[in-house]
Structures are given as C-alpha cells and as structure tokens.
Structure 1
Amino acid sequence: MEVGLGKLWVGIDVGKETHWAFAMDSDGNRILSRRVANDEAAVSQLLADVTALEADEVTWAVDLTTVESALLLAILWDHQQRVMYLPGKAVNHAAAGYRSEGKTDAKDARIIADQARMRRDLAELRPTDELILELRLLTGRRTDLVCDRTRTINRLRQQLTAICPALERAADIAHQRGWVLLLSRYQRPKAIRRAGTARLISLLTSLGVREQTATTVASAAVAAAKTQTTRLPGEDVAAELAAELAKEVMRLDEQIAELDSAIEARFRRHRFAEVITSMPGIGFRLGAEFLAAAGDPGWFASADHLAAYAGLAPVPNDSGKRTGRLHRPQRYNRALRRVFYMSALTSIRCCPTSRAYYDRKRTEGKGAKGATIALARRRVNVLWALLRDNRTWEPTAATTAARAA
C-alpha cells in the first residue's frame, strides 16, 4: 500500500453482523476495500490499517447511526477520529450516478466515501453524552410501549364488539383506568347487569378509582349492558380474550409509569433541565425527548440551525414562473419536530403569550396547523436563547429572547 497519502476518506456501509469499508484518496482512487466484522477486534484492526497509511487527514463516513453502528462509532471516537453522516436515502439517490446497476455493500461503501470526499454539507457526528444516550434509549422504549398499548386497546375494542357493541361504544379505555379495571373482571352484558351499579362502584373504589369516576364508569357500563340481552356466538372466548387484553393494558400502564420515573430522574440530572422545563408546554417527558433528539444543545450555532434540524425552517420550492413558494425540507429530525409541535399545542392552552401569538397568526389567514407550526418556530428561537444564556423563561422576556435569537 502507498505510504504518505494526503487526505483519505473511508466510507462504511454499516450492517448488523458485518460492515464494508472502502477508503479512497483525493483523486478517488481505491486504497482499501474489505468486509469488517462488527466486533471490537475487527474494527480496531481496520482503524490500525487506516492509521498505518499515514495520511495527513482521515475522514470517516457512515450511512447509519443506529445501534448497528454503536460499536464502530465508539471505537472511532475513542481514537479522536472525524466521522461524517450520509443518510441511507442519500446513498440510494447517489447510486444512480455510479457504474453498475447492481447493489453491493462494496459499492455502497465506495459511494459513501466518494460523497464524503465531494460534499461539504454532511453533518459531523459527535460522541453522545452518557446521560443523553440513556434518555434516548428510555424514550425510545417508552414510545414502543405506548404503541403496544394502543394496539392492545384496539384489539380489546374488537373483542368487546364481538360481545356487546354498546359496551364497546361506551368504554373509554384509552383514558379511563376505571374501564380497564372493570373489563378485567366483567365483560359479558349479563354479568354486568347481575353485578349492578352499586357492586361495580364498590369494586372500582376498592381498586383505587375515585368514587366519582367509579360511579360514572359503573353507570355507563350497566346502561350499555341493559341494551343487549342477546348472547352473541363465541361470547365466552371473546370474553376471556377481552379480560386478558385488559390485564395486558394494565401491565403496560405499569411499565410506562416505571419508565416515566426513570426518565424524569435522569432528565432532572441534566444541566439544562430547569431551563427546558421553564418553557410553557414542556414537561419532563417532552424535555427528555428534546435532549434525546437534539443531543447537546451547544452543537447548534444559532436558532436557525436548530429550526432547520427540526424541520421548522421552510425551503424554497420555485420552478419556472412559480416563485416564492416554500415547503417543508426533506431532511430533518422528525422526533425533534414532534417535540416543538406538541409543546406548541400544549402552550396554546396554558400560556397567554403563546395563545396571543397563535390567535394573531390565525387572524393573518393561517389555518390551525399553520399557526401552530409558526408558534413552534418562534418557540425554537426562545428556547435556543434560553439555552445559550442558561436562564429560565419569563413571560416578560419571551418576546425579547425570540428577537435576540
């Protein structure tokens, strides 16, 4: 191999079991191309081989930042290597400009290296703080559990329809814990009628449901059960499945509550926790999601930079005589956009300043969604300024902070 190279670019096509590494020089000539197992010894050997080339500057580029690349990135960062990120979608788009119609790991790695050599708009990956990584794992797990809960509730509703459609319509399973507790014990209309309102109220209150809520749930359940005396085919099996699904919802609720405690405990340890939650509409959950999505807030040089990363900075969509039109960018962090959008929705209800800004945008002709997005964009300015100055939000300073950003 040639010694004393100038600049070197190493593209890594990341895989679960193996990666493919392709190194090229400033002229695009292949220096190295080989498969690398996703284990410490193989990755360390690749790093040693690249280091032995004695290049003046080495830039690594990867197409994934998921768990498959965790070991690779950790080793590179431990050795102070510069790592760039080229999204997989960009690799696929660029592939059309390279010879060979076939897709191989070696070709993808070459494309990644070549794109890193030519492009100047790639984002640099930086080591993730341990606390932020923990929040990323915990919030990701919470999202999975919430999705599981939604699917389980949908299945439970399907089983209730097979037993008593009126009961399914009356049951507010997603928001009322009392309904889940009741359905874990009673599912058939006949059994609910026999139990009666008083017994059901007593049962629910003994399980920790407030008396007023227990009365509402029990009364609605008995009223729905009285509308149907016909026994549907398969009712017994459907009732057993409904009881099992109701208990599964209860288990998921317990797991989500435990995760919330773990998320809050870690989030409160972050140096910007008080600053972030001082913003109206952002509690510890959205705050944790913000840190998980954005990483270190200090990485963003300006509020515009943060807004662009969140997909809240529209880009031009001009063509021919059609000018002045804007649209959402294709490359942005969807989780971060969700944080600002959901916090804006919440702030409209709880913050007079946000409500006034939202109403002003509505009077200017924007729809509800457009006005909310405009508010979310403004909140990016405010939050970035607060993080920059390391101070908490104050109503009188909100407008000044937004303008200063």
Structure 2
Amino acid sequence: MEVLVGFDDDLAGEPTRLVNRIRGLLVTIHPALEKALGPRLHHPAALELLVQYGGSDRLRTATTDDLLATARPLAPRMAGRLVEAVKTALDAQTVVVPGTTAAATVLPHLARSLRSLHDQRDQVAAQVEEILDAHPLARVLISMPGLGIRTSARILLEIGDIAAFATSGHLAAYAGLAPVTRRSGSSIKGEHPPTQRRQQSPQTRHVPGRVRLPLRPPEQGLLRPQESQR
C-alpha cells in the first residue's frame, strides 16, 4: 500500500499541470471558451469535447446535437448546460487569433493525457481500496466525515502499528489533536496554564521596565485651597 500511495502522490501533481496548460492555451486563442470549459476540465464530458473537436473552429462547425451526443453519455444531467455554455462562448468571439489551428492540434493531445492520468489514479485508488478493506481499522476511518480512501490509507501508513499507542489520548497527542507539555520534566513539578502577556498602556509601551515611572500628576496642583492660603 505504501508503494501505491507513493505512486498516487506522484500522479497527483500532473493533472494540475495539464489543466493549467490547457487553460493557458485556451486563453490565448479564445478567452470566452476558456471561461466555459476551464472550470470543468476535471469532468470527463468537457475533456471528451476537446478530444473529439479540439479547438474553437471544429466546435463552432459542430451542431448542438453532435455536441450533446458527445457529452451526454458522460454527463447526463450537465450535458445541456455544458453545450449551451460552449455555444454561447463561441458566439461571443468573432475574431480568429493567430495560432488557433495549431492549438486545435495540441488541445486533443493534452486532453487525452489528462484523461489518462485520471484513469490511472482511479485504478490506483481501486487497488488501494482492496488492500484497505483487509485492515481492521478501515471501516472506522472511512466512516468518519471527510475521510476517503486516499486519506485513510495515508493515516494508516503514518500511524503504523496501532498497538504502539497505549491509549487513544496518546494517539491524539501524536496526531497533534491533544495538548502536550513542551517543557523539561526536571524543571517543573506541575503543569500550569500559559501566562498571558500584560497589555501595556500607550504611555508606557515603549519605555523599558527598569526606567518606567508611575504616571503621577505634579504635586503643585494637588494642594487644597486651605493649605495654599497658609
């Protein structure tokens, strides 16, 4: 499982790089189309449109029914909105930017590479899940909110042998979920709450403690009228 999780970590950064490459290429030739497809590049329907039609020229010549036939098997509920957003983006730009033809050649290759990476990560996740099912703590971890197969596998690899922790408190302290003492055991006899820093007044904030004087008004204005008459 450690080998598979490490390989998945290596694959995790590649999809982000390819997505940025595709979006950067779309911005240079058709910004409106990038706005429509860019946020959806992790969905297989958006990738299939790029694989089948490439750049903006072939997408513009394709009919709405053709685009729906390509996207609907992969996104039954989102296909209509996706095709409508693509058609609206294509109508928003009438200028042909230099390099559009070359981009139409490169985009399908990038989309295929991105789709292949997603398939590889799915295959690795399936193999990790098979190994994870055999672990006695797998059901407990996966049942927790926010923990999936990949995160549960990494937690088990980090913990190692659960018998090494005497109690659940030791495990929580190891994970950083419980407070622990960061002081030397020979210098303290008990635990004390951390002292809070005393807030200083604006008048004494920049004055060193050794030369700080009490703030007193001058004595000349403190004499009572009876004493001043004497």
What's the TM-score once normalised by structure 1's chain length? Answer: 0.42
Root mean square deviation of aligned Cα: 2.4
User: Kindly tell me: are residues 313 and 161 of structure 1, through their superposed partners in 2, closer, same or farther at Cα, counting changes over 3 Å?
Assistant: same
Match of 1:294 among 159, 170, 176: 159
Summarize deviations over 1:99-152 as a string: whole Å, max 9, x none: xxxxxxxxxxxxxxxxxxxxxxxxxxxxxxxxxxxx222122112212111111
SS at match of 2:10: helix
Report whether the alignment pairs 1:224 with 2:89.
Answer: yes
Q: Which residue of 2 aligns with 1:337?
A: none
User: Kindly tell me: are residues 292 and 324 of structure 1, through their superposed partners in 2, closer, same or farther at Cα, counting changes over 3 Å?
Assistant: farther
Summarize deviations over 1:314-361 as a string: whole Å, max 9, x none: 56799xxx8359xxxxxxxxxxxxxxxxxxxxxxxxxxxxxxxxxxxx
SS at match of 2:24: helix
SS at match of 1:226: helix
Match of 1:183 among 50, 54, 60: 50
Summarize the alignment of residues 5-404 of structure 1 with structure 2, pairs less than 5 Å apart: 135-171=1-37, 172-205=39-72, 208-313=73-178, 323=195
Code of the aligned partner of 1:257: D
User: Kindly tell me: are residues 187 and 324 of structure 1, through their superposed partners in 2, closer, same or farther at Cα, counting changes over 3 Å?
Assistant: farther
SS at match of 1:141: helix
SS at match of 1:233: coil
Code of the aligned partner of 2:19: I
Query: How far apart in 2 are the matches of 1:267 and 1:324?
Result: 46
- Contact 1:153–1:173 at 8 Å: present in 2 too? no
Query: How far apart in 2 are the matches of 1:222 and 1:255?
Result: 31
> For this pair of structures, how many residues does the alignment match?
186
SS at match of 1:290: helix
Q: Rg larger in 1 or in 2? A: 2
Q: Which residue of 1 aligns with 2:228?
A: none
Greater strand share, structure number: 1
Unaligned segments of structure 1, at least 5 residues: 1-134, 326-405
Code of the aligned partner of 1:176: H
SS at match of 1:212: coil
Query: How far apart in 2 are the matches of 1:296 and 1:266?
Result: 16
- Contact 1:189–1:229 at 8 Å: present in 2 too? no
Query: How far apart in 2 are the matches of 1:153 and 1:293?
Result: 30
Answer with 173-182 or 264-273: which moved more: 173-182
Query: How far apart in 1 are the matches of 2:10 and 2:156?
Result: 18
Code of the aligned partner of 1:162: T
Unaligned segments of structure 2, at least 5 residues: 184-193, 198-230
What's the TM-score once normalised by structure 2's chain length? Answer: 0.72
Summarize deviations over 1:249-298 as a string: whole Å, max 9, x none: 11001101101110100000112222322333333332212112211222
Query: How far apart in 2 are the matches of 1:189 and 1:215?
Result: 18
Q: Following TM superposition, by how much is the alpha carbon of 1:173 offset from its aligned partner in structure 2, in angstroms?
A: 3.2
Query: How far apart in 2 are the matches of 1:296 and 1:246?
Result: 42
User: Kindly tell me: are residues 292 and 166 of structure 1, through their superposed partners in 2, closer, same or farther at Cα, counting changes over 3 Å?
Assistant: same
Query: How far apart in 1 are the matches of 2:66 and 2:116?
Result: 24
- Contact 1:162–1:238 at 8 Å: present in 2 too? no
- Contact 1:170–1:221 at 8 Å: present in 2 too? yes
Report which structure shows greater RCO (CA 8 Å, sep ≥6).
2
- Contact 2:15–2:117 at 8 Å: present in 1 too? yes
Summarize deviations over 1:344-380 as a string: whole Å, max 9, x none: xxxxxxxxxxxxxxxxxxxxxxxxxxxxxxxxxxxxx
User: Kindly tell me: are residues 174 and 298 of structure 1, through their superposed partners in 2, closer, same or farther at Cα, counting changes over 3 Å?
Assistant: farther
Query: How far apart in 2 are the matches of 1:180 and 1:151?
Result: 15
Query: How far apart in 1 are the matches of 2:195 and 2:96?
Result: 65
User: Kindly tell me: are residues 324 and 141 of structure 1, through their superposed partners in 2, closer, same or farther at Cα, counting changes over 3 Å?
Assistant: farther
Code of the aligned partner of 2:195: T
